[in-house]
Amino acid sequence: MSASTPSASTASERRTLTWEEYGVVPVPQRKPLLTPEEEQEKLKQRKAEM
């Protein structure tokens, strides 16, 4: 029984890590909270640099 408790705790910790690394954190970071106007300005700046 003592062997099942540590495995469960590691599994929960691993789950939180996977959730944060997989879908919870990268998704909001990928989609910037910018207005369409700001995004257009960024695109214009990128085009100007190119």
pLDDT at 38: 86
pLDDT at 42: 86
pLDDT at 36: 81
List, for residues 3-50, the tens digit of each pLDDT value. Answer: 555 555 555 555 555 655 555 555 555 555 677 888 889 889 889 987
Structure token pair of residue 30? 């990928």
Rounded CA separation 25/19 (Å): 8
- Show me where the domains of the chain are located: 4-49
Structure token pair of residue 21? 């690394």
